[in-house]
Structures are given as structure tokens and as C-alpha cells.
Amino acid sequence: MDYIKYKILAKQISQTKGVAELIEKAEDEDIELVWHRFLKQQPQCAFGQLGVCCRNCNMGPCRIDPFGTGATAGICGATADTIVARNILRMIAAGAAAHSDHARDIMHVFEGTATGKFKDYTITDKEKLRNLAKALGVDVEGRKDEEIAIEVAEILKKDFGKVDEEPMALVKALAPERRLKVWEEAGVMPRAADREICECMHRTHMGVDADPTSLLLHGVRTSLSDGWGGSMTATLLSDVLFGTPKPIKSTANLGVLKENMVNIIVHGHNPILSAKIVEAALSEEMQKLAKDNGAEGINVAGMCCTGNEVLMRMGVPIAGNMLMQELAIITGAVEAMVIDYQCIMPAIVDVAQCYHTKIITTEPKAHIPGALHIEFDPERADETAKKIVKVAIENYKNRPKERVRIPKYKMELLAGFSVEAILNALGGSLDPLIDAIKDGSIKGIVGIVGCVNPKVKHNYSHVTLAKELIKRDVLLVGTGCWCIAVAMEGLMTPEASKLAGPGLRKVCEALEIPPCIHMGSCVDCSRILIALGAVADALGVDISDLPVAGSAPEWMSEKAVSIGTYFVSSGVFTHLGTVPPVLGSQKVTKLLTEDVEKIVGGKFYVEPDPVKAAETIYNVIIEKRKKLNLPL
Amino acid sequence: MQAEKMIVYIDPERCTGCRSCEMACAIEHSESKNLFTAISEKPIPKPRIKVVVADFFNVPMRCQHCEDSPCIEACPTGAIFKSEEGFVIMNQEDCIGCLMCVMVCPFGHPYYSTEYKSIVKCDFCIDRVKEGKEPACVSACPTGALKYGNLSDILDEIRKKKAKLIISGLKVEGLVYTKQVEEKKEEKLNLPDLKRMYSQVSWY
């Protein structure tokens, strides 16, 4: 019997070159992939798709009949409105938890570096540390970096778990005044990252908050504790530890794997380990060891957001985005896939068993059965990284050479656009960008973020939406899997400005930047917030007045729900390309897509078709321009 | 012989694809008839009903218990036969696994289980029906996509519903025989619409 039950139409699955041939290879070798598993899940339960299934207590599970003939309330009496709102709040909580816990890990290393406990890390960007300290009100004059860092860590640590009603210190320090006022008035000012997440779990417990509006407003607060708090902390401290990204050239797609080298893929989200793996792999000692083992050297490539982290700072090539993690192993050329956490499909262990690839888990909080666990300890970072690289090198001899197939496709890209780097490209001030927006050569800015999802054609919506928007003179900034998607399509090269409208093209050519700007990993959506805040302040308006929008065309993760919500809560019109599980309640749907705008200035808009979405997003930008009396 | 034909009426427009019917069917055909113990039984209890995706609809496919059953005709050992109630049932002991029934069934219903070493098919939950209960799949359906009853009662219900739609002009536009009998209510969510939303960007 064939292991693969349904053969899939490989050529229709993805926008990205090289994907189809590896899917076909997997099918020839009887290896199941994410798309096969997706088909096996069909039909997917509509109670789940609509968000009307509640499993929060053991009187249940309960579900509401969407046709209105069966049950209209759960056993406790919770209606569809309550259940849908509770479920989406739990999604926000999980997303914010993932980001903020990631931030805590970086904070731990940051503090340990300052106190001298972790000797393998250094404070790389001293200027950024000082700027952050000043923003937080820490005295920097005549003090040592380590002293400042310890004090900064103390303040940021409190942002996680403090119990008073004061806003989070980082939120107060970095969010624009006008925004703070909006949040204050709406009663959604975040007080502490862990507290808001904890309160989400409390409110959604049996018999607590049943009002959809109140539940969703807490969702707004929780998401803000992520965007302007947790994610922001992760970005800032990663920059301080590993350096603030500067424009850097690299390549993307599976063709970055090298036939005669030891290939190591770093996969996950946290740069603390992946940066060390890259350093270890580049060391002479390891390169020599690789040669002794018959390889020409060591090639480290990224996957997902840890890939984005090392791409932004070290120019490490990126092999693909989330749905391509199994395909990287299918090439047969990967000696080790080193993972930390988030967006790692447990299936990679099963796929790896069909090859020689070693899956190495490193985080105490992310184990996968069947993987090799080498626990990462920041106190012995270099040592652990070397140990991991050695495992990969020693595995090179086991590579099944006759089964290796690396697609030839790879694409040049220019990444590394932190807010500082953008300012630098603009000549030190925002003015050229503001002028371009004012005179209409750039109509607006759209931040595109988010995942890839087997519900839709892989990378198609990402690329189509991007092309449609740059054609209309809209500058794109983005993070995460979107960046990898458009980079593989060539949209992150300065030459891609040929595809842009005449106004945007002129700006891109003058500054030698691509029309799609890579701002980093998914926690780096916080960079987009900072950029929006700066543009708003420069124009003397609120973020919700700006001709800007957000989009997550192929989102799937709970983190994306949190990101989408903090975009909306920051005043941004936000497009979602896959339908969120809220349609079971008309009230919640209306709250998210209409009413929320009156409270925080932004709202959600759902449209799977990227061409239609681009048109609507553009129209929203034009409306905002009209209100600001800017030329159309 | 019962005077009325008992049927399970399938309404794909109401099927949400939750597959509760599949689960309930497997439990009903387990030793213990209890979810928590059934999952560890050997052989593993198997569902006789399957929800299949067809275009934008989910269709719960089950045995139609045909009047003139091709499977009974084709079965060389007489393992498949008609019960007193008119249900097409089988005696597993007599099944030789020749798969003739599989080949002749117009609905793709019976299948072969390597674990049972015989054909598996729907028995209309004959024991439950005899006790005056609905078949397990029908009881488990949370939206009424599966309806159990005698044919004439169900047809009466359907006729009434369709008649109402026709005279209200809701079904056939412009075809209004009398005044509108039903105010157009707030738009209910249409599940096929949810799927159609993805039609521009789906690959499968």
C-alpha cells in the first residue's frame, strides 16, 4: 500500500521555483509532506473554522450550531459571541506569550552578558544601548556600558511581571504621545506582558468574562503588551547584543544549499543560538574539520525567522520559509537542522528519518520525539555551538549522495533594514521619505508580515499582493515569512524597482533600495511600529491618520493574530488573507472589522484574493491621503 | 415487514465537516460502545460512514440500503442480506472477502478491512433502531445534516419547506405567487461561501 494516500498537483502548490520538483521527489520516495497531511485533514471541522467550539471546561466540549437549528448556547449558557471572542482572545494570549517569552530569553542573556556571567556574548551596539537607556530615563553620562545595561535590564524585567497599574515602561518610552492617549482613553494600556497574558487565561476560564467587547478590548491590551513590549524588547536587546542590522547582500531559496559542503540549517526564531552556530561554523577549526571529513567546507543557511535574524546581521543565506522546512531535508543535502522554537513542524523528524539528516533540538522548552537534543546553555554558548557543528560535520559521510537533489534556483536580495539603517539610507533624517509621501511619489507604506499556510497557494498571495502594491507606488516594509517569499521572487533587489510605479521607482533608484524592504524576523514587526510612530510624529498626526496599512496575506500562527491585533490597536488598517476563526459570531466579526476602528483607529479586513485586497488597501491609503490633504 | 421505509436523509448544505458521525459510528460498532475505552480496543473500531469533500460541499457518504441491492445480488456466499426491517446488513462470518460488493456498489460504500479480514458496511444501527433510537450517526450530527425518519414524514417536511421557498420568491427569483411570507432575515453564514472565498488562491 502506498504510504501517500493522495498525490498532489505539485506544480500548482507554490509560487516559488524549486518547490514543485522537491514535492515530486518526496512523492517518488513515498515521503509525506505538509500538503499531503493537509488533504488528509479534509474536510476540516467547521465548528473550529468558525470559532464556535468551546473546550474551556469539562462540562463541555460545547459547540454552537451555525445554522441556528441546534444548540444556540453552551452548557454554561455561553453564546456564539462569547465563545468566539474567548477563543480569539486565547489565540492572542498564545501569540503574545510566544513573543514575550522569546524576549525573556534574550533579556536573560543580555543581563548575564552585562553582569559578566555569560562570557561568550558582548554588548555589540553600545550606541543603541545608550539610546534605549536614555529613552527609559536611565542616566548614561560617564557610566560604563555594563552598568547601564544592568539598570536597563532591571526596568525591562519589571515590564514582564509587575503588578501595579502603571503602563509598561517600554510602551511609555517608545509609543507616540497621541497613541498613548488613545489607549489611555480606551482603557487598554498594557501594564505588564505576563500579566496581560495571564489575565487572558483568567478571563476565558469557565464563568468569568462573557462580554465579547470586554474580551476583545483585553485582546487589544494584550497585543499591545506584545508589540510595544515583548516583541520590542526582543528586537532592541537582540540589536544591542548582536548589532543593529545594516544593509547586507545575500541569497534566498533552496539553491543556497551547497552540493559539496556540510549544510547546516538553523531553523526557529531566536538568534541567541543561531548566531553562535554561524560563528562556530565559520571558525577555522571547524572548517578544517569539515575538510578532514571530505567536505569542501561548512555552509550555514537559515529557515524561518532565526534565518531572518542571521540574514539581517550576518548575511547568512536563507533556504526558505515555513512550508519549505521539510523540502530542505528532501534535498538530501542537509547534515543537520538545528532548531530553537516556534513554527517547527514535528514532521521534520519523520522526514529526516528517510535521510541522514540530524534534527537537533536545543531549547529546554522545545523537544521533539526522535530528535537529538543538545541543550543550549548561554554560559557555554561557544562550546555548545561547536559541539552541534561537529555533529553535522561527522554526519557528512552518511549523506546518500545518489539521492541528493538541490534545486538550482536562488535569488539575490538586499536585507538588513533596521529603522537605523533606513534612516541612514535616507541620509540621516526621515525628511526625504516624508517629502516623497507628501508629494505623492510614494502613495503610502504597507507593512506585510506573516506566515505561509497550506490552505492557500504557497507564497502566491505574498508575491501577488507585493507586486500589485508596488505597481501602485506603495512602499512595502515587512518581516518574517513574507520577506523570504518575496526575496525568492527577486523583489528584494534594487533592480525590482523596475516593477514599481514611476514615483516609487524614482525614490528606490535614488536611494538604491528595493521597493520591498526587509525589516527582520517576526518579532521585528516592532521595527515597523517604531517607523510608523516616527513618520506620524514627523507629519504631526496620529498613526491612524497615516496613508499606511498592514497585511498578513497567508497567516496561520497565533503569533500572527497577536501581530495583527497590535497593528490594528496601533491604528493601522490590517488585511488578513486567510479567514480567522471568528465568522461564527456576527457580533465579533463586526467588532473586529468595523467597531474597533472607533476605539483605536485601525480595523481588520479579510480578503483571500490578493488582487482584490491590493485594490482595497490602495483605496484605503487614498482615502487617508485625502483626509490629510495630500495630492492623490 | 414494516409498512414504511425508514431512511436517513442527507443534506450536504448543512454538513459542517466535523466528522462527529464518523466518530459516533466507530463507537457504536465497538465492543464497549464507549469513546474512552473504544479507542484502545483491538481490532480498532471502524466507522462505516465517511464525510467526503465534493466541490464546495461536504457529503456524509453512507450505505443507501437500496431496495434492489446490487451488493446482495453480487455476494456469492449470501453474507449480505436484507433484514426484516428492510436494511441491507451482513453476516461477517460468511464474508470471504471477494470484494464483489465493493465493485458493484454505486456509492462506493463497503470497504475491506485487513484487520477484520472481511468487508465492513453500515448496518443502519439495526440494534438501536429496534430499540426505537436513531442511528448513531444521526444522533451525533449537531446540525441536522443527517435526518432519520420514515420516508413519507421526511418528504412531507421537505415538500413544506420547498413550497414555502417557492411562494416566497426566495428560491426562484421573480417567481412570487403570493405576498412574501418570510421577511429576509439577517444573512446567515453559508459554509460553501467560506470555502469559495479561497477559490482564487487554493491549489487543491
B23 touches chain A (CB under 8 A): no
pLDDT at B14 over 90: no
B194 touches chain A (CB under 8 A): yes
A23, A41, A67, A590: best to mutate for the B interface, most B CBs within 10 A? A67
- Which of A183-187, A601-605, B50-54 shows the lowest per-residue confidence on average (mean pLDDT)? B50-54
Q: Which residues of A touch B17 (CB under 8 A)?
A: 42-46
Which of A49, A70, A460 is closest, CB to CB, to B144? Answer: A70
Q: Higher confidence at residue A2 or residue B127?
A: B127
Express each pLDDT in A410-430 by its tens digit: 999 999 999 999 999 999 999
Q: Which residues of B touch A461 (CB under 8 A)?
A: 201
End-to-end alpha-carbon separation of chain A, Å? 62
Contact B51 A43 (CB under 8 A): yes
Which pLDDT band holds residue A1 (cuts at 50, 70, 90)? Answer: very low
A42 touches chain B (CB under 8 A): yes
Percent of chain B with pLDDT over 90: 55
Give the pLDDT score at B186: 57
Query: Is the dihedral angle over the CA atoms B65, B70, B73, B76 positive or is it negative?
Result: negative
Classify A339 as helix, strand or coil. Answer: strand
Reported ipTM: 0.75
Averaged pLDDT for residues A142-169: 96
A580 touches chain B (CB under 8 A): no
Contact B194 A577 (CB under 8 A): no
Which pLDDT band holds residue A45 (cuts at 50, 70, 90)? Answer: confident
Residue A75 neighbours by CB under 8 Å, 6+ apart = A59, A60, A62
Domain A418-627 of CATH type 3.40.640.10: no
Report, in angstroms and rounded to the nearest whole number, the Rg of chain A calculated over CA atoms. 24
Give the pLDDT score at B184: 54
Phi first, then psi: give them for residue B81, nearest 5 degrees. Answer: -150, 175
Contact B18 A45 (CB under 8 A): yes
Average pLDDT along chain A: 96
Partners of residue B106 on adjacent β-strands: none
CA distance A338 to chain B (A): 30
Residue A540 neighbours by CB under 8 Å, 6+ apart = none
Contact A579 B16 (CB under 8 A): no
Which of A46, A456, A458 is closest, CB to CB, to B16? Answer: A46
The CATH number fitting domain B6-151, selected from 3.30.70.20, 3.30.70.141, 4.10.80.40, 2.60.120.10: 3.30.70.20
B36 touches chain A (CB under 8 A): no
Report, in angstroms and rounded to the nearest whole number, the Rg of chain B calculated over CA atoms. 20
Give the pLDDT score at B56: 80
pLDDT at A311 over 90: yes
Express each pLDDT in B58-92 by its tens digit: 999 999 999 999 999 999 999 999 999 899 999 99
CA distance B198 to chain A (A): 6
Picking from A216, A203, A339, A217, the residue whose alpha carbon sits closest to that of residue A266 is: A339
CB B37 within 8 A of CB B61: no
Other CB atoms closer than 10 Å to residue A435's CB: what's the count? 12
Residue B167 neighbours by CB under 8 Å, 6+ apart = B176, B177, B178, B181
Give the pLDDT score at A4: 65
A68 touches chain B (CB under 8 A): yes
Averaged pLDDT for residues B110-117: 92
Q: Which residues of A touch B202 (CB under 8 A)?
A: 455-457
Tell me how far apart the alpha carbons of residues B75 and B72 are, in angstroms, rounded to a whole number.
5
pLDDT at B183 over 90: no
Domain limits, chain A: 80-242, 254-403, 418-627
Q: Which residues of A touch B189 (CB under 8 A)?
A: 50, 66, 583-584
Which pLDDT band holds residue B1 (cuts at 50, 70, 90)? Answer: very low
Q: Distance of CA A213 to CAs A81, A84, A167, A576, B51, Å? A: 9, 11, 22, 21, 36
B111, B114, B201, B202: best to mutate for the A interface, most A CBs within 10 A? B201
Averaged pLDDT for residues A275-286: 96
pLDDT at B187 over 90: no
Chain-centroid distance of CA A93 in Å reads 16
Which pLDDT band holds residue A136 (cuts at 50, 70, 90)? Answer: very high
Contact B53 A42 (CB under 8 A): yes
B200 touches chain A (CB under 8 A): yes
Q: Which residues of A touch B186 (CB under 8 A)?
A: 586
Picking from A410, A381, A127, the residue whose alpha carbon sits closest to that of residue A272 is: A381
Give the pLDDT score at B178: 53
pLDDT at B180 over 70: no
B197 touches chain A (CB under 8 A): yes
CA distance B182 to chain A (A): 16
Domain limits, chain B: 6-151, 154-196
Pairing of strands A573-576, A548-552: parallel
Percent of chain B with pLDDT over 70: 88
CA distance B173 to chain A (A): 23
Q: Give CB contacts under 8 A, 24+ apart, made by A343-349.
A: A343/A268, A343/A269, A343/A304, A343/A305, A343/A451, A343/A557, A344/A267, A344/A268, A344/A304, A344/A368, A345/A34, A347/A32, A347/A33, A347/A34, A347/A37
Domain A254-403 of CATH type 3.40.50.2030: yes
Give the pLDDT score at A473: 97
A63 touches chain B (CB under 8 A): yes
Q: Which residues of A touch B58 (CB under 8 A)?
A: 43
Q: Which residues of B touch A69 (CB under 8 A)?
A: 143-144
B14 touches chain A (CB under 8 A): yes
Q: Which residues of B touch A579 (CB under 8 A)?
A: 194, 197-198
For the entire predicted model, the pTM comes to 0.91
Domain A80-242 carries which CATH code? 1.20.1270.30
Averaged pLDDT for residues A16-22: 96
**Same CATH fold assignment for domains A254-403 and A418-627:** yes
Averaged pLDDT for residues A88-112: 97
Averaged pLDDT for residues B167-172: 61
- The residue in chain B having the minimum alpha-carbon distance to the alpha carbon of residue A11 is B203
Averaged pLDDT for residues A8-33: 94
B203 touches chain A (CB under 8 A): yes
Picking from A469, A459, A514, A526, the residue whose alpha carbon sits closest to that of residue A490 is: A514
